[in-house]
Structure 1
Amino acid sequence: MSSAARLRDSTQILLPADAIDGLSADLTERFTLTVRREQTQVRIIGSPVEIKRASAFLARNGIPVE
């Protein structure tokens, strides 16, 4: 059985608020995601498949995703 933390990690990406400046529109156009801006971070939410694809896209654009 999956733990809640593991499921959460596979369905969201947390980054500093300014990390995706200039890429936010590309993310939402290319992938089925929700991008929520919070106080000091941005939360990218989607299915595990979309999060994996978005992570690869961000990495190709120089944004490290852990």
Structure 2
Amino acid sequence: MQSQKLTSLQLELLKVYSFEPKEEDLLAIKKLMAQYFSDKLQCNIQKSIDEKGITEEDLKNWINE
């Protein structure tokens, strides 16, 4: 069986959890991570829209399909 290495993110999270943070701190970290990845996704979506010349009308049409 092949062992899998942990990613840099996983290693950093293990460091955080090793300190046994309070539940409120864990929730704050989860919110920060969720916001970060949400912002990154929105940025990538906007970049694709700009590169492909997608209009608001195109988006509305796709939603209604």
TM-score by length of 1: 0.33
Relative to total residues, which structure has the larger helix share, 1 or 2? 2
Structure holding more strand per residue: 1
Larger Rg: 2
Q: Which has the higher contact order (CA 8 A, sep 6+)?
A: 1
TM-score (norm 2): 0.33
